């Protein structure tokens, strides 16, 4: 995630690989597909996001230290919550 944060300020220098384009295509197919219910759609998207980030997210966890908010998902990079 660190390279992504650094590259957001220099988007014109970001190199996009054929693999990146393939992942985007997979995500779009997954996001617009029809599913039996919302839970199936969310599970399919969660798998793609975790694969793309290379890290397992914390999905639907309550953050006790932050007034018990409950984000859809979060990832940690060192001490930085995203």
- Distance, in Å, from the CA atom of 49 to the CA atom of 78, rounded to the nearest integer, reads 19
- Mean of pLDDT values over 3-11: 67
CB 22 within 8 A of CB 30: no
Total domains, the chain: 1
pLDDT at residue 3 in the model: 60
Is the confidence at residue 10, as pLDDT, over 90? Answer: no
Q: What's the full length of the chain, in residues? A: 82
Owning domain of residue 21: 2-81
Q: What is the mean pLDDT of the chain?
A: 81
pTM equals 0.56
């Amino acid at each position: 995630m660190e390279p992504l944060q650094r590259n957001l300020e220099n988007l014109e220098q970001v190199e996009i690989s054929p693999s990146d384009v393939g992942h985007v295509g997979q995500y779009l197919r997954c996001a617009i597909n029809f599913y039996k219910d919302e839970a199936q759609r969310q599970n399919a998207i969660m798998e793609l996001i975790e694969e793309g980030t290379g890290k397992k997210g914390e999905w639907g966890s309550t953050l006790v230290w932050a007034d018990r908010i409950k984000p859809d998902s979060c990832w940690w990079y060192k001490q930085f919550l995203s």
